[in-house]
Amino acid sequence: MDSIIAGFEGVLTWIVETFDGPLWDVTVITLLGVGLFFTITTGLVQLRLLPQSLREMWGGRTAEGDSLTPFQAFTTGLASRVGVGNIGGVATAIALGGPGAVFWMWITALIGMSSAFAESSLAQLYKVRDPNGMFRGGPAYYITAGLKSRWLAIAFAITLIFTFGFAFNAVQANSIVEASRNAWGWDANLVGIALVVLTGLIIFGGVKRIGQVSAKVVPTMALFYLIMAVIILGMNIEKVPEVLSDIVSKAFDFSAMAGGMFGALFSKAMLMGIKRGLFSNEAGMGSAPNSAATSDAKHPASQGLIQMLGVFVDTIVVCTCTAIIILMSDNYGSESLRGISLTQTALSFHLGEFGLHFLAFILLLFCFTSIIGNYAYAESNIRYIRNRAGFVLGFRLVVLFFVYFGAVRDGGIVWAFADTVMASMAMINLVSIVILAPIVWLLLKDYQRQIRAGQEPVFKIDDHPELIKRGVDPEIWK
């Protein structure tokens, strides 16, 4: 088994060394460009309708039949977003890019909220009903129906399966092992086996169970983490001006360049902030739309606003908490500390031994719910390619292999492989939603018209017959 895993690691290393640099050179430009495009063309939807997104999220706690509620779809998406990216990813960004990386994480989130609105609204509009009566959808579905491109949809589905089903789950497992080893000295092999068993119990229960588990666990664990961050902030309130000054001033320090084709344009702070910001909030990546499509929302834009809120919560709230914890400690400049270990060391600085154990426990919840949320995304795309029981079973077994692989191998190659496949997936989705932008504008206009009229927004396909010609299933919206 060890020789198989070592050989597999060699294959991943070759993939990263060959494709990662060129892919990210193009992805950074595209990610920011598409975010700005939707920010401008939607009239700053992420700012204008942020209060409305809160109302939609809170009001979407019930649904008819067996479908996920809009709130459950939101928490399933949040389960995937809130995880190691908020804790280990932020720490890695600061360790490699300095405090300025946090600023670029904020920018990626604020701009990306508009992309998140667009992709999730499209996913709701183009959702389908599976043989069990559950809704499914996502970029593979709106690329097929909206762009009439089956081959591009399959390419996206494959990149998502590798990104979320395999790479990201390996990252989450690796982080659980690192945190538990630092806190309690747990053996990596035993932790890996336990994760495989627990993950298997849940993923074989289906997407509905994932939504139910996430709706209960995610808000609770996020609340505990935020309370801890507020306590630390109160203990170090005098350091806030200095921390904020470092974040902003060092965001534009181009003395350390990122390298690559566009190295003269990007500092390390900028590149690391954008990479880790995208890993954490997934705005525009094409992942959250897979959960957005599963809900029984009354209007596509309603779920778009709810998923947009997830980006805000993930990065502006949770990631900022982690950044404050690290930057208010005295060891974030140590080259020997990065990732989970840096965050745990920072917590120990503030809270003593309790901080080390507290983070390990919280991380177990963060990362484990991310694993099952990631799986939900990947399963939807596996079923898009071939909805056969044997095919899905084989996929589930490979997912469990990657969970174990991530638990027992070095974190460097696991993170690098995740970056590579993440960039390829994001590129396909970003180009697709720009082409489908007129439909996004139509949905937003229809939603805002009903809000201004004092009505609860309900999408009626009969009012938009042109969308039937653009591949929307009229039966879904009648």
- pLDDT surpasses 50 at 419: yes
What letter does residue 251 receive in the DSSP assignment? G
SS3 at position 255: coil
Mean pLDDT of the region 222-238? 85
Q: What is the pLDDT of residue 150?
A: 93
Find, among 95, 26, 20, the residue nearest to 273 by Cα: 95
What letter does residue 180 receive in the DSSP assignment? H
- pLDDT surpasses 70 at 65: no
CATH code, 1-62+70-476: 1.20.1740.10
The confidence band for 24, taking pLDDT boundaries of 50, 70 and 90, is confident
Q: What is the pLDDT of residue 14?
A: 87
Q: What is the pLDDT of residue 71?
A: 74
Top pLDDT among 336 and 269 is at 269
Q: What is the pLDDT of residue 433?
A: 97
The confidence band for 216, taking pLDDT boundaries of 50, 70 and 90, is low
Find, among 338, 341, 280, the residue nearest to 314 by Cα: 280
Candidate ranges 49-58, 157-166, 262-271, 292-301; pick with highest mean pLDDT = 157-166
Mean pLDDT of the region 445-468? 93
- pLDDT surpasses 90 at 18: no
Phi/psi for 260 (5° steps) reads 90, -175
What letter does residue 99 receive in the DSSP assignment? T
Residues 107/31, Cβ–Cβ less than 8 Å: no
Residues 108/343, Cβ–Cβ less than 8 Å: no
Flag the least confident range among 20-29, 37-46, 112-121, 229-238: 20-29
Q: What is the pLDDT of residue 262?
A: 47
| pLDDT tens-digit series, residues 100-123 | 999 999 998 999 999 999 999 999
Question: In which element (H, E) is residue 129 found?
Answer: strand 128-129
Q: Compute the CA torsion angle 149, 152, 156, 158 (nearest 10 deg).
A: 110
- The overall average pLDDT reported for the chain is 85
- pLDDT surpasses 90 at 472: yes
pTM of structure: 0.85
Q: What is the pLDDT of residue 66?
A: 58
* Cα–Cα distance for residue pair 79/83, rounded to 1 Å: 7
Q: What residues contact 169, with CB distance under 8 A and at least 6 apart?
A: 199, 370, 371, 374, 375, 399, 402, 403, 406
What number of other Cβ atoms are within 10 A of residue 41's Cβ? 16
- pLDDT surpasses 90 at 82: no
Find, among 166, 160, 131, 167, the residue nearest to 143 by Cα: 160
Flag the least confident range among 39-53, 111-125, 301-315: 301-315
Rg (CA), the chain: 21
